[in-house]
Amino acid sequence: MTVDGAALSAAWGLPFAGMLLSIALMPLAAPRAWHHHHGKIALGWALAFLLPCAAVFGAGAAGGALLHTLGGEYIPFIVLLTALYTAAGGIHLRGNLHGRPALNTALLAAGALLASVMGTTGASMLLIRPLIRANHNRRRVVHVIVFFIFIVGNAGGSLTPLGDPPLFLGYLQGVAFFWTLRHLFPETLFLLGALLALFFAIDRWCYRQEGVLPQHPTPGTPRFGLDGAINLLPLAAIVALVLAGGALPAWLRDAGLALLTLVSLAITPRAVREANQFSWAPMQEVAKLFAGIFLTMIPVLAMLQAGEAGAFAAVARAVAGADGQPLPAAYFWASGVLSAFLDNAPTYLVFFNLAGGDAPTLMSTLAPTLAAISAGSVFMGALTYIGNAPNFMIKAIAEDRGIRMPGFFGYMLWSCSILLPLFAVMTFIWFR
């Protein structure tokens, strides 16, 4: 039994709003309390939805929504993230890396290429530690991490179903594997090219302002290479399991991912993880906060899925013209902005079904609409820390290494200033 979105008022979205505001404000207003109790706070907001839901709709409806979300969405989500985090955390890129603008840009470009092959989470977990280590002697590094989120954590995963969860859901709904590569390549090339060029200009300016002295290899500095390269095998197996996910029972896929996590832990020498400064703290923080996010967004997604019958009927009306035909620009922005604050995978599915839900039609007659939904869901996940799973993990790892990342709204100042003008240009060229 699940919650009927048509029976909900917009007030049911208040716990989700409270969860978002807690993530945004409490690290600034009460940092010690947030650091020690963020899990309890997330649980409190989840109960702020579940208890009234049980009182109004019955324990069966609340329990059904809880079990469906935990078993069908949250646990698979966390199992996959843990597997990728563990395997990638067992690979150490050694050598005398120095964070010059050219090297940083090359690492971001490499991450963008890897993201559509091994997923934005896999590519991010593989490269974020070498990037941080390469820039350890620089004072201004926040922009490096922010652009890494834009490029590797989001935009780079737009070309295949392996890249980002929304596209994988589309693949399971019948969208051809290479459809996004054929239809989103120009948009992706434009966005990545613009971001990499802008990053290089900003990083070069910061580098010159700091007057960073070049680092020279010292005696005993190890040659470039990979320690723990055997973890490439579990990484490849994780990608294969995700790709085969539609043909396997969910429990079997998740059991396989859990097994690969244990395999990675068993085959990785302790010295490799120590060299990577591997810690479970970022993963624990992500697991606790996303539990609250997944549970409090149940009514919000239900209201969106109710379409014209729900409290957010205005959204359903806004994406269609007077003749009832879908408006690609409206789908791009609606799916994108909501993906920035909700999990982008179910948001993609909401708009996929709102546009008709028929994959052959969406891939042909309504191809501009499907391209708009796909681009919005993937690209605009970079607008907030919670728009896509890697965003918060990258932030948590950077903070674990002592980098003072901007808060929720501070990050949005970066993302909106840089990304929204690029999205506006893309709308004018491809989605109008």
Flag whether pLDDT at 187 surpasses 70: yes
Could you please report the per-residue DSSP string of 318-333?
HTB-TTS-B-HHHHHH
Within 13 A of 309's CA, how many CA atoms are on the CB side?
8
Token digits for 261? 């996590």
Question: Which helix (H) or strand (E) segment is 93 a member of?
Answer: strand 92-94
Could you please report the per-residue DSSP string of 277-307?
T--SHHHHHHHHHHHHHHHHTHHHHHHHHTG
Residues forming a β-bridge with 227: 92
Percent of the chain with pLDDT over 90: 37
Round to whole Å and give the CA distance between 276 and 90.
8
Question: Closest Cα to residue 397, out of 280, 292, 289?
Answer: 280
- Domain assignment present for residue 1? The answer is no
Instruction: Work out how many domains the chain is built from and give that number.
Output: 1
Question: Closest Cα to residue 138, out of 99, 101, 96?
Answer: 99
pLDDT for the residue 215: 53
pLDDT for the residue 245: 66
The sign of the dihedral angle between the CA atoms of 406, 408, 413, 414 is positive
- Domain assignment present for residue 367? The answer is yes
Instruction: Name the DSSP class of 428.
Output: I
Cβ within 8 Å of residue 136, ≥6 positions away: 99
Give the CA angle between residues 357, 362, 364 to the nearest 5°.
155
Flag whether pLDDT at 419 surpasses 90: yes
Could you please report the per-residue DSSP string of 182-223?
HHHHHHHHHHHHHHHHHHHHHHHHHHHHHTPPPP-PPTTPPP
Q: What is the mean pLDDT of residues 183-188?
A: 94
Rama region for 215: left / alpha / beta (φ>0; ψ in -120 to 50; rest): beta
- Domain assignment present for residue 318? The answer is yes
Round to whole Å and give the CA distance between 319 and 12.
23
Q: What number of helices (H) and strands (E) belong to the chain?
A: 20, 2
Within 13 A of 93's CA, how many CA atoms are on the CB side?
15
Could you please report the per-residue DSSP string of 45-72?
HHHHHHHHHHHHH-HHHHHHHHHHHIII
Residue 424 pLDDT grade (very low, low, confident, very high; cuts 50, 70, 90): very high
- Domain assignment present for residue 114? The answer is yes
Question: Closest Cα to residue 184, out of 368, 396, 402?
Answer: 368
Of 118-132, 187-201, 228-242, 350-364, give the range with the top mean pLDDT. 187-201
Q: What is the mean pLDDT of residues 172-183?
A: 87
Whole-model pTM? Answer: 0.83
Round to whole Å and give the CA distance between 399 and 147.
16
Flag whether pLDDT at 45 surpasses 90: yes
pLDDT for the residue 98: 80
Whether the CB-CB separation of 159 and 188 falls below 8 Å is answered with yes
Whether the CB-CB separation of 340 and 348 falls below 8 Å is answered with no
Domain that holds residue 269: 11-210+223-431
- Domain assignment present for residue 340? The answer is yes
- Domain assignment present for residue 182? The answer is yes
Specify the higher pLDDT residue, 11 or 307. 11
| Helices (H), ranges, 91-218 | 101-134, 142-151, 165-172, 179-210
Average per-residue pLDDT in the chain?
87
